[in-house]
Homo-oligomer: A and B are copies of this chain.
Amino acid sequence: MTDQMHRIALASRPTGAPTPDNFSFEAADMPTPGDGEILVKVHYMSLDPYMRGRMDDAKSYAQPVPIGGTMEGGAVGEVVASNSDAFQPGDFAFGMFGWASHAVIPANQCRKLDPAHGPITAALGVLGMPGFTGWHGLMEYGRPKEGETLVVAAATGPVGSMVGQLAKSLGLRVVGIAGGADKCQMATDTFGFDACLDHRAYDDASALRAALKEACPKGIDIYFENVGGKVLEAIIPLMNPFGRIPICGMIAWYNAGGLGANAGDEKDNLPKLWRTVLVNFLSVNGFIISNHWDRYPAFLAEVGPKVASGEIKFVEDIAEGLENAPQAFIGLLEGRNKGKQIVKVA
């Protein structure tokens, strides 16, 4: 055990897309666990689009990261010291350890990892927050029915690939949207989507809409929303009566700098959307998975074995080194990753 740890702090708030200057890589004294706390050496940390929201000083479901504060995030690591009966040194744990090499955290805020559920990185993606988000949003708000059509963007990401694979197994037609031909191929070949459209191949929402119309000849019953922007604009008029739109994110708008940029070309997009919700009797639900951890055991019981058996597949992009987390995060927001973006810290 060394005397020093490292962390990545929020140096300044981004205007639009984050840049490396918004982050600082810092050394700090190794912390000591107090009563009921554990010291964890982080092995892998997760990068997720929601972290962009934490960098803004805006009202949201969570407090913003303060300037100078450690960037927040889920991670997995090895317990190196424990003042809690719940963990022994050598145990592996998941928790909100942040962008850091080590963390001290109350033991009751961590979850011990079960090696039977596959590699520990799975706790950050397919069996962690993103996979759980996809499962809960689809089952609770998407209410999938055999024969229906579902569309999900960021199709090869850990949320989209979970949503698509689950919907496929329930007998839906599943159409993905992704950025780049290679990701589209991964969506169909690896994850078994019926089709996947490269949104970069379409200049605007109406061109994308025309392609979606062909890919979804019976219209769209479920649009699992995680991107917003051009994709949402394209989809609105294609929603079927009684359609459902679970919303877990809107990555296209996260970098929009107060939403002035990237907001869509037309000022009547809101009335168009609202009218469609009315005349097609749509059900739209925003949710954040942290309100629903009571359902996590049910998720793990249902999906864990499917991941172990290979029925549900997952893909991980692993960047090397804590100091490279900012670049990997910037790449994530630009869609450069293919699967679940992870940083190998130790």
Measuring CB to CB, which residues of chain A are less than 8 angstroms from any residue of chain B?
Answer: 53, 59-61, 225, 228-229, 232, 241, 247-250, 253, 256, 259-260, 262-288, 291
For the complex, give the distance between the alpha carbons of A271 and B229 in Å.
8
For the complex, give the distance between the alpha carbons of A268 and B275 in Å.
17
Closest to A53 in B: B279
A259 touches B268 (CB 8 A): yes
On whether A253 and B281 interact (CB within 8 A), knowing A61-B241, A241-B61, the answer reads: no
B285 touches A283 (CB 8 A): yes
B286 touches A279 (CB 8 A): yes
Closest to A285 in B: B283
A278 touches B241 (CB 8 A): no
For the complex, give the distance between the alpha carbons of A278 and B286 in Å.
4
The residue among A59, A262, A286 with the most chain B CB atoms within 10 A of its own CB is A286
Neighbouring B residues of A264 by C-beta, 8 Å? 267-268, 270-271
In the complex, what's the smallest C-beta–C-beta distance from A258 to chain B, in angstroms? 8
In the complex, what's the smallest C-beta–C-beta distance from A253 to chain B, in angstroms? 5
Closest to A237 in B: B59
Among candidates B225, B228, B266, residue contacting A271 with C-beta atoms closer than 8 Å? B228
B249 touches A260 (CB 8 A): no
A271 touches B256 (CB 8 A): yes
Neighbouring B residues of A278 by C-beta, 8 Å? 247-250, 286-288
Neighbouring B residues of A279 by C-beta, 8 Å? 53, 59-61, 286, 288
Ordered by A's residue number, 19 sampled pairs between the chains whose C-beta atoms are within 8 Å are A61-B241, A232-B274, A247-B277, A249-B278, A253-B275, A259-B272, A263-B267, A263-B271, A264-B267, A265-B267, A273-B273, A277-B286, A278-B287, A278-B288, A281-B288, A283-B283, A283-B285, A283-B286, A284-B284
B270 touches A263 (CB 8 A): yes
A259 touches B280 (CB 8 A): no
The residue among A61, A269, A287 with the most chain B CB atoms within 10 A of its own CB is A269
For the complex, give the distance between the alpha carbons of A89 and B267 in Å.
54
B271 touches A259 (CB 8 A): yes
Neighbouring B residues of A275 by C-beta, 8 Å? 250, 253, 259
For the complex, give the distance between the alpha carbons of A276 and B247 in Å.
11
Neighbouring B residues of A276 by C-beta, 8 Å? 286
For the complex, give the distance between the alpha carbons of A61 and B276 in Å.
10
Additional 8 contacts, C-beta under 8 A, given A250-B271, A264-B270: A229-B271, A232-B270, A256-B268, A259-B275, A266-B267, A277-B286, A282-B286, A283-B283
